[in-house]
Structure formats: structure tokens, C-alpha cells
Structure 1
Amino acid sequence: METLYWSIIAILFIIGFVGLIYPIIPSVLFIAGGILLYGLFFSFEPFSRLFWAVQVLFVILLFLADYAANLAAVKKFGGSKAGVWGSTIGLIAGPFVIPIFGIIIGPFLGAILAELLFNRKNIKTAAIIGFGSVVGFVSSVITKGIIQGFMIAYFFIAIL
């Protein structure tokens, strides 16, 4: 039974990392779910108040990293709030509309369309902003992957 429990926990952690590429998957919930299932399957005893405080801090950092990276990159490349929203919508819709490549093309096209429609930017400027949205997405994925890695590493440190 122990192998089954560990398999379920590992699957949840893996789905958490898949959520980095498919933002529709709430990755942090799967990682937290794996930690909670460990407690239910085995014991909550290894998890101190400090452990939970650090994990909550990591969750907050995940949300901030996601928002800040996209916002900073779009703004740095000359985009507006409309560009950020367009990029976000494209990020969510892209993988469904264009499988595999939609994760990159979606935010790019979303930012371009938003800037063209709402801010009347020229196509060249809008394309630069679209590129910025892709830069923001990639930097967000890297940052969130590192934070999620720390969450899981701290989990293993706590249980060992």
C-alpha cells in the first residue's frame, strides 16, 4: 500500500510541474495536495508550524512570480494593461486552440491583438510587446519551477 501512496503523491507532484507548461492546471494545488496526502496517508507529525508557514510563503511567491513576470516583461517592451490581459487570455486559450505551440503563440498573439485593438499601436510595436509577453511567460515558468522545486525539496527535508 505504501508504494501506491507514494505513487499518488509523485503523480501529484509531476502534474504540478506539468502545470508550468499548461497554466490551466493549478500546479500549486497539486503540489499542496501531494503534501496533504502524505499527511493523510502517513502522518502530519513531520510538518511543524514553520513548515506550513514556509509552504504558504512559497505559494504566495508563486502567485506573485506569475503576475510580476508577465507584467514586468510586457511593460518593459512598451505594453499596457490591455497587453497584459491579452497575453494572459492568450496564455490560457492558446494551448487549446493551437495544441503544443499554443503555449507560446497564444500570449504572443493575445498581446498583439490587445495592443492593436485597444491602444491602436502599429503592428511593429504590437509585435515587440507580444515578444515581451513570451519573455515574461518563459521567465515566469523558470521562476515558478524553481519555487515549486523548493517546495518539494523542503517537503522531503521535513519528512526525512
Structure 2
Amino acid sequence: MNKIILLIIVSSLMLAGLAGTFLPLVPGLPLIYLAFLVYGFFTGWIDYGFNFMLVWGIITLLLMFLDYYTGALGAKKYGASPAGIWGAIIGGFLGVIFLGFLGIIAGPFLGAFVGELLSGKTHTSALRSSWGTFVGYLAGSLFKVIIGLIMIGSFIWQVWR
């Protein structure tokens, strides 16, 4: 495969992965890892090897699980019910569709708030739970963005050193 075409494909996967670190339902870090696999496959693994792939594979898997945990941990710490957590997930998805970039932030918060109200909580309690969901989501997203940038940086370092 032509090296320029390969780099366009790999860069596109990495950018989509980086966007996926804060967009709901887009597998951010796994897309960046997929870019590693694609590049390695088409170049014969000359720029990085098994250890590089193993370390980033383990980190990617761990962070996929941690991602769900941070949102739930923030929600639980502030007293969210399962309805609030589901509301945050649905709100995050719908927020991006209908509100674009603003929906990334507002969607999970509003979704958790509506979910809590539907589960019978008071406005004050629902607001507290949605704040916790938002804080957990934001912390998890920030962490994933940082790791995604480190992954991309390590790839660039391995390929162009």
C-alpha cells in the first residue's frame, strides 16, 4: 500500500479515536489502537513490535473498563440511581446528535437530571445526582483525551525516530 494513503488512513483513525475519547458511543482509544494495528500490518511491523502493541493493548482494555467506572463512580458518589446513569448515557448520545459540541457537555447532565426526576427524586436531589454524573463523565473524558494524546505521541515517536 502507498505510504501516503496508509498515513491518511492511520491519521483518520487516530483523529476519530481522539474525538471518540469524549463523544459517547465512539470507541476512542480502541480506534487509536486499531490505527496501530493497521500501520503495523501494512509496514511489516518494522517501526514497533510486540511489546509496544502488548502494552498499549492492555492499557486500552483497562481504560475501556475504567471509562464506565468513572461515570458510575461520580454518579454513585452524588447519589444517582440507575435511571440517572441511563439518562446520562442516553442524554450524551442525543445531546451530540441534536446539540453538537454543546451536547457533549449538556447531554449527559440533562439526561441524568431527567432520569432522576422520572425515578421519583426531587429537583434538588436530581440536580445533585446529575452534577455527580457530569463530574464523573468529565473526569473520565479528560483522562481518555490525555491517554489518547500519549498513545498518538508514542506512535509518532516510534515511527519517526
TM-score (norm 1): 0.87
Aligned amino acid, residue 144 of structure 1? K
Q: Distance in 2 between matches of 1:53 and 1:5?
A: 22
Deviations 1:59-92 (A, max 9, x none): 1222123112101111111112222121112112
Moved more, 44-53 or 63-72: 44-53
Question: 1:145 aligns to what?
Answer: 145
Residue 3 of structure 1 deviates from its aligned partner by 2.9
Deviations 1:108-157 (A, max 9, x none): 12111211212x11011101111221111111111111222232233344
Aligned amino acid, residue 107 of structure 2? G
Deviations 1:27-63 (A, max 9, x none): 2232122112211332214443322221121112221
Aligned amino acid, residue 75 of structure 1? K
Structure 1 residue runs of 5 or longer lacking an equivalent are: none
Q: Distance in 1 between matches of 2:126 and 2:3?
A: 54
**C-alpha contact (below 8 Å) 1:58/1:147 kept by paired residues:** no
TM-score (norm 2): 0.86
Question: 1:135 aligns to what?
Answer: 135
Aligned length: 159
Aligned amino acid, residue 146 of structure 1? I
**C-alpha contact (below 8 Å) 2:92/2:108 kept by paired residues:** yes
Q: Distance in 2 between matches of 1:94 and 1:65?
A: 23
RMSD of the TM alignment (CA)? 1.9
Within-5 A mapping of 1:35-50:
35-50=36-51
Q: Identity percentage over the alignment?
A: 32
State the secondary structure of the residue aligned to 1:25.
coil
Question: 1:10 aligns to what?
Answer: 11
Question: 1:77 aligns to what?
Answer: 78
